[in-house]
């Protein structure tokens, strides 16, 4: 999609202004029902940026692959002068004073931002039902969720309201909504992409990544946003880690794909999802790949490790959302005559934060409290290392590991929101990549029929640390044909 649009703009077959206008028209037509966008930027401002690109083309100048092509940005990522609400009442009026590191890179390449997309509040959730500004609905069935937390970005791409978008992934928040919405979602190795200017949820887990209509598009975006950022000391130089686009051949000959039996025997795995992913594995074998059965003995502890660690990190990161530095201040609160600073904290957080955010703060504060730190957070860190060691052993034998992205297709709105544990279990297949800090991608695998409607099913590939490009190449080879 991105290459085709680029070529058409460069050849003068279509203008950037026409492309941007078309996507804006789609947003106006569709988003009343879907609610993928929290903020659509000024139309004239967008079209003026597009006209500047068109003028460059008329002058015979070369433009970059992303130049003049519109996109959507998850609303935890700062764009200078625009609101970053994190889908929370607490941040409803916060205007970003700077660009996030990824936005700086995209601006340098000439990408055009259509607006900011909806999410679970502060990226905490798996359905985008936790947004303070309404649920994002699945474009394939408006009675179902779009997934989370990057549900707005995935729905925007699936509904052709943007050709691509950025999301963030802490435990599957790019990959799971991409699976539910039938698009491609990629999370690179931890440290490949800067998190500077992105509101943190769990600092040792969060990653920014692309949601797109094809693996090739995801690779183009990833190549642009990956690399060292001095303001994020977890990032690395991308020399040798990110390959050239010409290397994305999709040849599966000789590729070793790891098959974990436990993934496909898990209680709660939907029968259709299992059959669809297993069928795609057989197709990969026919295309020249070798399927190798491997074991991940500590996989069963991934979800517990993840939720212990991320709630602890949430409680720390959310301390700044106190009504003083960020959030509702006393003047915005009813009965604003507070007797103490603590009163302001209590009132602003009680009124400004949703139930899931409060739940995670409470859980994390408990896990970090005196007498419990060693029993919970410290032990979870130790188990994280065991899971990483399992992955190291596995990647000696295989190039990637295959799994369903989600145990089920998109579930109905309201089905799990009152049962947090059931919602957390939706992350069962995705969290391992974040615990292990490895790259992972979800690609469309097929369709499952529910209530007379066809719903997308995604499959997930997990790769070795820093083998992001190899993983994209394998995903390209396993991608469904058009």
262-293 pLDDT, tens digit each: 999 988 999 999 999 999 999 999 999 999 99
- Rounded to an integer, the average pLDDT of 409-415 is 97
Q: Which residue has the higher pLDDT, 176 or 326?
A: 176
Residue 63 · residue 55 · CB < 8 Å? no
Residue 8 pLDDT:
96
Could you list the active site residues? 74, 149, 173
**CA distance linking residue 260 with residue 108, whole number of Å:** 42
Q: Which 3-state string (H, E, C) describes the chain?
A: CHHHHHHHHHHCCCCHHHHHHHHHHHHHHHHHHHCCEEEECCHHHHHHHHHHHHHHHHCCCCCCCCCCCEEEEECCECCCCCECCCCCHHHCCCECCCCCHHHHHHHHCCCEEEEEECCCHHHCCCCCCCCCCCCCEECCEEEEECCCCCHHHHHHHHCCCCCEEEEEECCCCCHHHHHHHCCEEEECCCCCECCCCECCCCCCCCEEEEEECCHHHHHHHHHHHECCECCECCCCCCCCCCCCHHHCCCCCCCCEEEEEHHHHCCCCCCHHHHHHHHHHHHHHHHCCCEEEEECCCCHHHHHHHHHHHHHHHHHHHHHHCCCCCCCCCHHHCCCCCCCCHHHHHHHHHHHHCCHHHHHHHHHHHHHHCCCCCHHHHHHHHHHHHHHHHHHHHHHHHCCEEEEECCCCCCCECCCCCCCHHHHHHHHCCCHHHHHHCCCEEEEEEEEEEECCEEEEEEEEEEECCCCHHHHHHHHHHHCCCC
**CA distance linking residue 349 with residue 323, whole number of Å:** 7
- Rounded to an integer, the average pLDDT of 14-25 is 98
Residue 307 pLDDT:
96
Q: Which residues contact 364 (CB under 8 A, 6 or more apart)?
A: 310, 311, 312, 313, 314, 315, 316
**CA distance linking residue 145 with residue 396, whole number of Å:** 38
Residue 329 pLDDT:
62
Residue 400 pLDDT:
98
Burial of 209 (0-12, 13-18, 19+ CB in 10 A): buried
What would the pLDDT profile of 334-389 be if each residue is shown by its tens digit? Answer: 555 666 778 778 888 888 899 999 999 999 999 999 889 989 999 999 999 999 99
- Rounded to an integer, the average pLDDT of 182-192 is 97
**CA distance linking residue 66 with residue 210, whole number of Å:** 13
**CA distance linking residue 403 with residue 459, whole number of Å:** 6
Q: Is the pLDDT of residue 192 over 60?
A: yes
Across the chain, what does the average pLDDT equal?
A: 94
What would the pLDDT profile of 148-157 be if each residue is shown by its tens digit? Answer: 999 999 999 9
Confidence of residue 325 (pLDDT cuts 50, 70, 90): confident
Q: Is the pLDDT of residue 323 over 90?
A: no
Residue 240 pLDDT:
45
- Rounded to an integer, the average pLDDT of 13-34 is 98
For the chain, the domains span 1-482
- Rounded to an integer, the average pLDDT of 244-270 is 89
**CA distance linking residue 193 with residue 435, whole number of Å:** 17
Residue 239 pLDDT:
44
What would the pLDDT profile of 206-247 be if each residue is shown by its tens digit? Answer: 999 999 999 999 999 999 999 999 999 999 875 444 555 557
Least-confidence region, from 66-80, 111-125, 313-327: 313-327
Percent of the chain with pLDDT over 90: 87
Residue 338 pLDDT:
61
**CA distance linking residue 210 with residue 314, whole number of Å:** 23
Q: Is the pLDDT of residue 393 over 50?
A: yes
Closest to 220 (Cα-Cα) out of 190, 192, 246: 246
Domain 1-482: CATH superfamily, name plus number: Amidase signature (AS) domain (3.90.1300.10)
Cis peptide before 149 (omega within 30 of 0): yes
**CA distance linking residue 331 with residue 344, whole number of Å:** 10
Residue 237 pLDDT:
77
């Amino acid at each position: 999609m991105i290459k085709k649009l680029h070529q058409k703009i460069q050849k003068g077959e279509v203008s950037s202004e026409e492309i941007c206008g078309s996507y804006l028209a789609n947003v106006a037509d569709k988003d009343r029902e879907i609610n993928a966008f929290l903020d659509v930027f000024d139309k004239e401002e967008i079209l003026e940026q597009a006209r500047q690109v068109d003028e460059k083309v008329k002058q015979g100048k070369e433009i970059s692959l992303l130049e003049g092509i519109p996109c959507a940005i998850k609303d935890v990522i700062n764009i200078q002068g625009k609101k970053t609400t994190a889908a929370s009442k607490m941040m409803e009026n916060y205007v970003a004073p700077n660009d996030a590191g990824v936005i700086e890179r995209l601006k340098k390449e000439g990408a055009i931002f259509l607006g900011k997309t909806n999410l679970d509040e502060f990226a905490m959730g798996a359905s985008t039902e936790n947004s303070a500004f309404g649920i994002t609905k699945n474009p394939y069935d408006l009675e179902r969720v779009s997934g989370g937390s990057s549900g707005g970005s995935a729905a925007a791409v699936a509904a052709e309201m943007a050709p691509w978008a950025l999301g963030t992934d802490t435990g599957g928040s790019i990959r799971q909504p991409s699976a539910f919405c039938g698009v491609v979602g990629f999370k690179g190795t931890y440290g490949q992409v800067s998190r500077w200017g992105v509101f943190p949820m769990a600092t040792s887990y969060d990653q920014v990544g692309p949601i797109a209509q094809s693996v090739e598009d995801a690779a183009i975006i990833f190549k642009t946003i990956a690399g060292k950022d001095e303001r994020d000391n977890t990032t690395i130089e991308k020399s040798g880690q990110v390959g050239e686009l010409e290397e994305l051949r999709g040849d599966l000959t000789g590729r070793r794909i790891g098959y974990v039996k436990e993934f496909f025997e898990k209680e709660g795995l939907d029968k259709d999802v299992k059959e669809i992913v297993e069928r795609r594995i057989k197709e990969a074998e026919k295309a020249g790949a070798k399927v190798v059965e491997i074991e991940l003995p500590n996989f069963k502890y991934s979800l517990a490790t993840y939720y212990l660690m991320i709630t602890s990190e949430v409680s720390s990161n959310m301390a700044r959302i106190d009504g003083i530095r960020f959030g509702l201040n006393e003047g915005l609160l009813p009965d604003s005559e507070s007797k103490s600073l603590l009163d302001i904290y209590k009132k602003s957080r009680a009124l400004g934060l949703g139930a899931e955010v409060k739940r995670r703060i409470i859980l994390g504060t408990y896990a970090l409290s005196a007498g419990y730190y060693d029993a919970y957070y410290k032990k979870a860190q130790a188990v994280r290392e065991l899971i990483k060691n399992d992955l190291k052993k596995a990647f000696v034998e295989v190039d990637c590991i295959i799994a369903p992205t989600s145990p089920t297709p998109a579930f109905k709105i309201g089905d799990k929101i009152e049962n947090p544990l059931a919602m957390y279990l939706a992350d069962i297949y995705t969290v391992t990549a974040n615990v292990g800090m490895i790259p992972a991608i979800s690609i469309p695998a097929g369709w499952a029929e529910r209530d007379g409607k066809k719903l997308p099913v995604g499959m997930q590939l997990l790769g070795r640390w820093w083998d992001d490009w190899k993983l994209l190449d394998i995903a390209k080879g396993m991608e469904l044909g058009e």
